[in-house]
Amino acid sequence: MKLFQNEPKFYKSVFALALPIALQSLISIGVNMLDTIMVGSLGENALSATSLANSFISIYHIFCMGLGMGASVLVSRYWGMKKAADGHEEEAGRALKQTVCLMLRITVGLAALFAIATLAMPSLLMKMYTSDEEIIRLGDIYFRWSVITYFFLGTSLVSTIVLRSVGQVRLPLYVSIGAFFVNLGANYAFIFGKFGAPRMEVAGAALGTLIARLFEAAMILGYLFFKDKNIQFRLRDLFMKTGSLLGEYIRISIPVLVSDAILAIGNNSVAMVIGHLGAAFVAANAITSVTQQLSTVVIQGVSQAGAIVTGQTLGLGDKKKTMQQGWMFLGLGFALGALSAIFIMAVSKPIISTYNVSEETVNIAGQLMAAISLIIIFRATNSIMTKGVLRGGGDTKMLMLADNVFLWVLSIPLGCLAGFVFHWPAFWIYVALKADDIVKTFWCVIRLRSEKWIKKISTGNNSVK
């Protein structure tokens, strides 16, 4: 039960996975931050429109994260089995390919559904978040230029996650660096009409993102289909038979998708609450969300590393070592949460001052920064547990239940009461909306101690721990 142990090999292996993932997330956040600053120079309505439109697009992003992380639970375990060299290498290798095949098929299907919805009813989607006609008009424009983006975003994201699960973390980082410069150049050209390009403003921001996502998909899928030697998935494998693994994929991976999907809808309900608190609150939240993302990049990296390390260790058959590592991951969560809180408090004022917004927005943003610095301690701990260790152990059904009960039964009702009934200050509204992070942290400790989160996973024929 020691949270911190003298295990340099463990910490080295965790951060060897986590830091490239964190750097990739940092680059993505940098792109989003530049987008926000560029679009913010067009005014608060443009900033609010793109922020709210991306709240809907983020539902698909979270779906894909769920698909990718659900597949990652299986891929990590099968990769550990393959490395164990205990006679199951061939069936583990086939299960690896089947997992990736199922994941890509579902991703493309979801992309088509979101593309149709975005194309058919962009104004209706915007009205879920705001009643301001000008913001709806600008969001409509942004949506129409984002329809094709879903396909490139989804396939590159899920493929990146499974590649990380077999140890390939550098390539996605290099691709993200390239995409950063592609996105920066395209946004600058099309938002402001530079280098001979038309001045497209909000539409230019969407087009710049589309070009960057196309670049990412070409690089990541090109590597997966033609170069990767670990999973060894090729284009022809998209048509392989997957029936023997379908049951196990549904049992382990789909609960992650369902959990993250319902969670995404819940988080968008939070965005809807914020959207109806006024343009100043929306703009303030857009400013602080970038800072929040900056403060959690290492946490997200460690969370994904937690799932990978846990899955591979269990694939090797070492339950005792898995429990030991689980407690050390819990300690990392506490430590990283505290460091993130200090970071947010240190950078909040300088970051807020870079935006050309009203005094009311500045005041609300300051309150939100203070609230985030408190909540981040709890979020860091439970994220590394729920998105990392417990998920890597295969405890996906219980996590599906816990994540969504805490959000829908606790956070959303409290947030609505705080914002619309009691009219509390921004600080307390945000704390109420994120109360699930606090409660979930204590639940994670109880679940970890129970050892019930360690599940058996099958390749379709033989069950293994």
Q: What is the pTM of this model?
A: 0.78
HSE-up of 442 (CA within 13 Å, CB side)?
5
Question: Exposed (0-12), middle (13-18) or buried (19+): which is 128, by Cβ within 10 Å?
Answer: middle
- Picking from 54, 463, 413, 115, the residue whose alpha carbon sits closest to that of residue 268 is 54
Contact 303/383 with Cβ under 8 angstroms?
A: yes
The per-residue pLDDT for 461 is 57
Q: Which helix (H) or strand (E) holds 458?
A: strand 457-458
Q: Where would I find the H helices in 85-169?
A: 89-120, 122-127, 133-144, 149-165
Split the chain (465 residues) into runs of 10 and give each run's mean pLDDT: 77 89 81 78 84 85 86 87 71 87 94 94 88 88 92 94 89 92 91 90 90 94 92 90 86 82 72 75 80 81 90 84 91 92 88 82 88 92 92 89 88 87 87 91 94 82 48
d(CA 39, CA 205): 7
Q: How far is CA 107 from the centre of its chain?
A: 15
